[in-house]
Structure 1
Amino acid sequence: MYSSTPDDWREANRARWDERVPIHTAGDYYDLDAFRAGKDALRDFEIAEVGDVTGRTLLHLQCHIGLDTLSWARHGAAQVVGLDFSEAAVEAADVLARSLGLPPERAVFVTSDVYDAAQAVPDSAYDIVYTGLGALNWLPDVARWAEVAASLVAPGGFLYLAEFHPLTDCLDDATGSTIAYDYFSRDPWVDDTPGTYADFDAATVHNRSVEWQHPVGEVVSALAAAGLRIDFLHEHDATLFARYPALARGADGYYRFPDDRPRIPMMYSVKASRPVSG
């Protein structure tokens, strides 16, 4: 925990997410009707890099309303467990799971702070521990996260992380072409912007948020220090939203810089395994 971390960081963030759950479940961004009809919430590179999940158990840390979690169940996972600190999000995920006809033992959702995950989930270890995009920035201590996440990986299993690349938060907002912010900053970002990425114009009351930037090296080193073997670190030249005005949406749905602009990594993914023995 950094000395400048506000004492109310967890409570402020939880109130913010609790308020946004009904906005997310009702809006077009997550489009729950399309999801119920079979739309996959996972990104193509995640599916390819994680590989076949048939018959495996999967724990999704910081699952929000569960679309990614339930997508892994659709891809054949024997059991998925989603964990989030927002009780409202967990309730919404559970309702969604039941609407898909998944029995409670196949799709389990629990409310817990991610740092307390080992005490909250139904089993001591999982074949796959998954963390999706936009999760680590809400945590002040990535080393502690890595220790908890690694402890939940079964021997022979692996952790898979997909995240937005922290380099994108260092470039100027107007053009994305110059370094404007410190890549190695450990200071929290405290913001009070209303609305949500799913609906910028939504009327909201709980707008205070506290976030952190975690350099890629810090994340990978934390996973290695927690006893996992790094299988790969992949950097991707695309992102999911128009982070800068110059980005254009391609036919594959990802946003990239035009061909006349140098490329930078805007997302990254890591796979880290726990050996069967040793």
Structure 2
Amino acid sequence: MDDYLQVNRANWNARVPVHVGSAFYDVEGFKAGRNALRPFELDEVGEVAGRSLVHLQCHFGLDTLSWARAGAEVTGLDFSEAAIEQAGRIAAECGLPARFVTADVYDAARALGETYDIVYTGIGALVWLPDLTRWARTVRELLRPGGFLYVAEFHPFVDVLDDESGTKVTEDYFDRGPHVWEYPHTYTGPEILEHQTTVQFRHGLGEIVSAVAAAGLRVEFLHEHDHTLFRRFGTLVGDGDVYRRPAGEPRTPLMFSLRASLPADGRS
């Protein structure tokens, strides 16, 4: 636990060149104009032109730069030096204005030194954070009065189900961890990683919402979605760029999205 940050940073630094070269991220397609964001994110966040947006845990910045293409004034922050270096390079090659900063998310307010209209946290981010109360307080520090947090994430209930059918509970939903995993690969392909250990933390939906509310943000919506972005369970069926349970089967939540605002007067 004491070394979780260093362990995870080494793993993510090792992932960067693999991810940049992968078909999963399709960097060349992005450079040609592809938008990396999901349609429901664009709909739920709404118009961003002329608004300042910070993307926490931005990896190498494709989602961040997609918001820039939509007109936002973007900043991306990540703890991986390798990821931030790649993000800056892609931004320059695409001619997109963006600021990228290397820092731990808990140190974001000090490292960035400014506030924003929108704090965005993308998919697959929260499992790397041991303390959501501290994270939510950081988000509030980063928000301007009248601004909002937007989170799109995999639903935490998914992690307690078996990998094949996704219908049997095999893990303890309330076991927060830390969970130490050893995987030779990342999710984009078979390449062997130099650093294979990760430390992750499981957060229930109630914990996430409660942390946001306790930080003084007003929850505008919490949407649960019946689709996900990859074949998380062997039985899921692809439908364009999303995967769902087969027609006629009972559905379970696979993703969620949350939007919460800081009142215009800056008070809770």
Judge same fold: TM > 0.5, yes or no.
yes
For 2:179, the equivalent position in structure 1 comes to 189
Aligned to 2:42: 47
For 2:247, give the aligned amino acid: D
Structure 1 residue 29 displacement after superposition = 1.1
Amino acid at match of 2:180: V
Choose which of 261, 268, 271 in structure 1 pairs with 2:249.
Answer: 261
Partner of 2:81: 87
Q: 1:34 Cα shift?
A: 0.3
3-state SS of paired residue (1:271): strand
- Determine which of 111, 122, 129 is the counterpart of 2:119: 129
- Displacement of 1:122: 4.2
Q: Write the letter of the residue equivalent to 2:24.
A: Y
Aligned counterpart, 1:73: 68
Distance 2:164 2:25 in 1: 27
1:136-155 alignment to 2 at 5 Å?
136-155=126-145
The one-letter amino acid paired with 1:142 is L
Which residue matches 2:235? 246
The aligned residue for residue 56 of structure 1 is: 51
**4+ residue runs of structure 1 moved beyond 4 angstroms?**
none
Unmatched 5+ stretches in structure 2: none
Q: Deviations over 1:222-256 (max 9, x none)?
A: 011001000000000000111110001013x1000
Distance 1:187 1:274 in 2: 30
Partner AA of 1:109 in structure 2: F
Q: For 1:8 and 1:18, locate their aligned partners in 2 and report how far apart those are by CA, in whole Å.
A: 16
Of 70, 91, 97 in structure 1, the residue corresponding to residue 91 of structure 2 is: 97
CA distance in 1 between counterparts of 2:85 and 2:194 reads: 21
In the alignment, is residue 109 of structure 1 matched against residue 97 of structure 2? Answer: no
CA apart distance, 1:259: 1.2
The one-letter amino acid paired with 1:168 is V
After TM superposition, the structure 1 = structure 2 runs for residues 203-242 of structure 1, keeping only pairs within 5 Å, are: 203-242=192-231
- Which of 266, 270, 276 is the equivalent residue of 2:258? 270
What amino acid is aligned across from residue 12 of structure 1 in structure 2? Answer: V
2:19 is the counterpart of 1:24: yes
Alpha-carbon distance in structure 1 between the residues aligned to 2:32 and 2:209: 37
Give 1:3's aligned residue.
Answer: none
Displacement, 1:174?
2.4
Shift of 1:215: 0.5
Q: CA deviation at 1:97?
A: 0.4
Task: Within 5 Å, give how 1:1-20 maps onto structure 2.
Answer: 6-20=1-15
Offset from partner CA, 1:62-87 (integer Å, 9 cap, x none)? 0000000000000011x100000000
The percentage of counterpart residues that share the same residue type is 55
Bigger Cα displacement from structure 2, 229-238 vs 169-178 = 169-178
| CA displacement at 1:154 relative to structure 2 | 0.6
State the alpha-carbon separation in 2 of the partners of residues 189 and 96 from structure 1.
33
Structure 1 position 151, deviation (Å): 1.4
Say how many residue pairs are matched.
266
Distance, in Å, in 2 between the alignment partners of 1:80 and 1:240 is 24
Deviates more, 1:205-214 or 1:178-187: 178-187
User: Is the partner of 1:268 in helix, strand or coil?
Assistant: strand
Q: CA RMSD in A?
A: 0.8
2:169 to 164, 179, 182: 179
Name the SS for the 2:92 alignment partner: helix
How much has 1:260 moved relative to structure 2? Answer: 2.5
2:133 aligned partner, one-letter code? A
**TM-score of the two chains, using structure 2 as the length reference:** 0.98
